Chains A and B, each alone.
Chain A
Amino acid sequence: MSTQPLADFLAHSVELESEARERYLELAESMAAHHNDAVSEFFLRMAEESRLHLEEVGGIAKDHDLPELKAWEFQWPDEESPETTSYEAVHYRMSLREAMLLALDNERAAEKFYASFARSSSDENTRKLAAQFAAEEASHAAQLVKKLGALPADSGQHLEEDDDPHMPE
């Protein structure tokens, strides 16, 4: 991180929420195209959650001069920003429960990311804001856990389609 911890932190936070939203939207559209409507609707709701969080972060960030970083200049713990769903983790036949578990992983990864700033930033304002964001992500995760608890168990059979892949029996 540079000598402007708060501006750097906010730049990463805006990118994190923006990427999460974009990926959820992309997945919602592709799930809809493949007739997995339940998962599509869930990802749309998650995109909306991310939009609301992005608005909040963006509202704080607008008073700061954020660094203009290229996509590959952000420093993430893994290959992509923490709340972004990995491509290889989804499938057009995935169940709503599997989608919700993925989203839960995302929320927890974001919480961990923010919590690490809350612990280790040299700047007090950054630590406070990061702790606030971490708490919000923890709250999202708790809501998802509650919803998962209320969801009927998976039947074990994934979505079927008429035009199956040409695979061996």
Chain B
Amino acid sequence: MNEPIKLKAKDYKSSVKPIWCPGCGHFSVLNALTKAFAGLGIDKDDTVLVSGIGCSSRLPAYVDSYGFHGVHGRGLAIAQGLKVARPDLTVIAMGGDGDGFSIGGNHFLHACRRNVNMTYIAMDNEVYGMTKGQASPTTPADWDHSKLTPHGPGVRPFKPAALALASGAPWIARGYSGNPNQMARLIAAAIEHPGFSFVHVLSQCITFCPEQTDWKAVVHEREEEALVDADEAAQLFLHEDGFQTGVLYNAQRATWPPSVPEPQSTDITRGFSV
């Protein structure tokens, strides 16, 4: 019998070329994802990438697997439905900070709470890039680079990891687009986690937030094991600088839907008895 051909990361890329700005962090996520697929030997035919709308949500088109470019903020809803209907598939939802935490914010909360066995990658560049640079839910309060918020949005930004933890997400990691090899390891671990895994990626937008090139100097890798205690994780996420990378929280929790035995014909008959 012939050995299956081992695919390299580039074999997972489609023939569609990205139109992201040169230097965009999303290139790094694309490379990390395909490296993770190669590392795990993922079967393209059993993998589906689902996204919403925005620069980052273009990513499924650039990967040679099944993909669904959904409507704004609804990538998670589509992905959960798909995974529940086809638990045999590897399902990965993805999108940006606006798509995931604003337009799709409610879906994010409930996806964390529901704990369907799938992965969500949020590419956070703290800005709406596709519409040319407006403040998003993760934009710093004093970011005054947009004509729409010339004095900054003046609102505290979301802390995505804290939000995920409070909503019940059992597995939380953070990656950085300046380190695609570490991110590949995180994405591989997220895919292997039996439950909802949330990968928050600091993915720079060098066009609208050129100051994000400074992230390289402040990002630091977590040296300790991932936290398993939710109280400790809450303390971490509320007080950290937001630039810590690695698997930050890893708890086990029953996934949804619970496995229920198939009803037997006698059970159905009994249901109609009077």
Query: In the complex, what's the smallest C-beta–C-beta distance from B23 to chain A, in angstroms?
Result: 4
CB-based contact A92/B6 at 8 Å: no
CB-based contact B216/A88 at 8 Å: yes
Stretch of A51-59, A71-79, A114-122, A130-138 lying at the B interface: A71-79
CB-based contact A168/B147 at 8 Å: yes
A72 to B207, CA, bound (A): 28
A-B contact pairs, 16 of them (CB 8 A): A30-B19, A30-B22, A33-B19, A34-B22, A71-B32, A72-B181, A72-B185, A79-B178, A79-B179, A80-B181, A88-B204, A90-B22, A91-B23, A91-B206, A91-B207, A167-B147
A29 to B38, CA, bound (A): 23
CB-based contact B208/A87 at 8 Å: no
CB-based contact A74/B147 at 8 Å: no
Q: For residue A92, which residues in chain B have a CB less than 8 angstroms away from its CB? A: 21-23, 207
- Cβ of A68 within 8 Å of any chain B Cβ, yes or no, is yes
CB-based contact A89/B21 at 8 Å: no
A72 to B175, CA, bound (A): 13
List 9 other contacts, CB 8 Å, given A72-B188, A87-B28.
A26-B27, A33-B18, A70-B39, A70-B188, A79-B182, A86-B178, A88-B23, A92-B207, A94-B22
A168 to B27, CA, bound (A): 27
Q: For residue B180, which residues in chain A have a CB less than 8 angstroms away from its CB? A: 71, 79-80
Query: In the complex, what's the smallest C-beta–C-beta distance from B10 to chain A, in angstroms?
Result: 6
CB-based contact A87/B27 at 8 Å: yes
- Cβ of A109 within 8 Å of any chain B Cβ, yes or no, is no
CB-based contact A71/B184 at 8 Å: yes
CB-based contact B23/A71 at 8 Å: no
Q: For residue B208, which residues in chain A have a CB less than 8 angstroms away from its CB? A: 165-167
CB-based contact B132/A165 at 8 Å: yes
A45 to B20, CA, bound (A): 21
A20-44 near B? 1/0 per residue, CB < 8 Å: 0010001101110110100000000
Interface footprint category on A: 20 to 34
The 4 nearest A-B residue pairs measured at CB: A71-B35, A72-B185, A70-B39, A79-B179
Q: Binding site of A, secondary structure by majority: helix, strand, loop or mixed?
A: loop
Interface footprint category on B: 35 or more
CB-based contact B27/A165 at 8 Å: no
Q: For residue B239, which residues in chain A have a CB less than 8 angstroms away from its CB? A: none
Q: For residue A165, which residues in chain B have a CB less than 8 angstroms away from its CB? A: 132-133, 207-208
A86 to B181, CA, bound (A): 13
Query: In the complex, what's the smallest C-beta–C-beta distance from A70 to chain B, in angstroms?
Result: 4
CB-based contact A168/B145 at 8 Å: yes
A168 to B188, CA, bound (A): 40
Across the two chains, which residue of chain B brings its CB closest to A26? B27
Query: In the complex, what's the smallest C-beta–C-beta distance from A87 to chain B, in angstroms?
Result: 5
B9-32 near A? 1/0 per residue, CB < 8 Å: 110000001111111110110001
A92 to B23, CA, bound (A): 8
A72 to B179, CA, bound (A): 10
A121 to B245, CA, bound (A): 32
CB-based contact A87/B177 at 8 Å: yes
- Cβ of B150 within 8 Å of any chain A Cβ, yes or no, is yes
CB-based contact A90/B181 at 8 Å: no
Q: A30-B18, A70-B39, A167-B208 are in contact. Are A90 and B179 (CB under 8 A)?
A: no
